[in-house]
Chains A and B, each alone.
Chain A
Amino acid sequence: MTSNPTELTRLQSGDAATWRAVLTEHGPMLLGYATRMLKDRALAEDVVQDALVSAYRKIGGFDGRSSVKAWLTRIVRNRAIDVLRGRNRLVEMPDGDPDAGYFDERGRWAISCPRFAPTGEKALDEQRLVDRLRVAMDALPHGQRDVLLLKEVHGFTTEEICAALDLEPGNVRIRIHRARKALRAAVLQGATLEES
């Protein structure tokens, strides 16, 4: 999705009303995204503020080939990654497959697919699932956490994620799938812990 040319022209000319409208529209998403990436609300506010001022200074060089939302997200994301890297808090992508051991050599289930809910419960209630997911998402490596936050929490399309994170569609899909599998495994681990 490309930018709205009229809006972009106004932003590039420094039109304050258009800037305020854009920041009001995307500010909550950007702050929510940065907060989950950095796990620190105050730090996220600083990062988003710096990123948006930087965006204002750099918008003359923005070609409008992606949406303004994706472009702003990219700037915020890069700032957040710089901060995480500076604090040695970047979590690398894991090599292992969370589903390892599920399937036999013929690609069929080697064990029965485990249940989310502890024994005796029919299903895991929604609040417990959300609570477990929040912890699990925060523990994901940043390369999975950022695609998942944009996709599931902020409703970005694959195309928007590609533009925001400078990734190919196939790479985005793989990261999303792996992140979902990791979350599922984490929820499952929570069920095991509840049983013990």
Chain B
Amino acid sequence: MPFSRCQDVMARVSEIVDGEAGAGARARFFAHMAMCSDCRRYYRQLRDVCGAAAATADEPPANLDAMLDRVMEAVDAAHSDPS
């Protein structure tokens, strides 16, 4: 039997997107989706937001190696002088 309240369905969207919902809950969720165009739209929007959020990542900086070198220098100094 599908979920009957749209508000309850929408509260579970993240669980569905993340694959954390059980089989029963998934079946009820998608049974509701088949009947409700507003919930379908909301679900797609949240899913698109999740997918596109990953694309907001920055490129690694060109000077990352220099920063790691500075860390390693500090690590080496700390290793030879543990005080």
Interface residues of A (CB under 8 A from B): 14, 16, 19-20, 23-24, 27-28, 31-32, 35-36, 41, 45, 48-49, 52-53, 56-57, 99, 102-103, 106-109, 112-113, 115-116, 126, 129-130, 133-134, 137, 148, 152-155, 158, 173, 176-177, 180-181, 183-184, 187-188
Q: Check if A14 sits within 8 Å of B79, measured CB to CB.
A: yes
Instruction: Tell me whether chain B's interface is mostly helix, strand or loop, or mixed.
Output: helix
Q: Which of B11, B60, B72 contacts A23 (CB 8 A)?
A: B72
Q: Are B7 and A103 in contact (CB under 8 A)?
A: yes
For the complex, give the distance between the alpha carbons of A135 and B64 in Å: 25
Q: Contact partner of A129 among B8, B11, B52, CB < 8 A?
A: B52
Shortest 6 CB-CB contacts between residues of A and residues of B = A107-B5, A107-B7, A152-B53, A113-B38, A177-B14, A28-B60
Residues of B within 8 A of A53 (CB): 71, 74-75, 78
Tell me whether B67 is interfacial, beta carbon within 8 Å.
yes
In the complex, the chain A residue whose C-beta lies closest to that of B53 is: A152
Given A32-B60, A129-B52, A176-B14, A49 and B71 touching (CB < 8 A)?
Answer: yes
Do A181 and B41 contact each other (CB < 8 Å), given the known contacts A19-B75, A108-B6? no
User: How far is it, in angstroms, between the C-alpha of A32 and the C-alpha of B59 when the chains are bound?
Assistant: 8
Which A residues touch B56, using CB under 8 A?
A: 130, 133-134, 137, 153
11 contacts between A and B (CB under 8 A): A16-B72, A16-B76, A27-B67, A32-B58, A32-B60, A52-B71, A113-B42, A115-B41, A129-B48, A129-B52, A130-B52
Task: Give complex CA distance A24, B5 in Å.
Answer: 49
Q: Is the CB of B46 within 8 A of A153?
A: no
Q: Across the interface, do B38 and A112 meet the contact criterion of CB distance under 8 Å? A: yes
Chain B's interface size range is 35 or more
Which chain B residue has the least Cβ–Cβ distance from A182?
A: B49
Please give, as numbers and ranges, the residues of chain A lying within 8 Å of B76 by CB-CB distance: 16
Q: Are A113 and B52 in contact (CB under 8 A)?
A: no
Contacts of B28 in A (CB 8 A): none
Residues of B within 8 A of A24 (CB): 68
| A108 pairs with B70, CB closer than 8 A | no
A49 to B78, CA, bound (A): 14
CB distance from B9 to the nearest CB of A (A): 9
Pairwise interchain contact B53-A153, C-beta atoms closer than 8 A: yes
A133 touches B53 (CB 8 A): yes
Cα–Cα distance between A132 and B45 once the two chains are bound (Å): 13
Check B49 against A180 for contact (C-beta < 8 Å).
Answer: yes
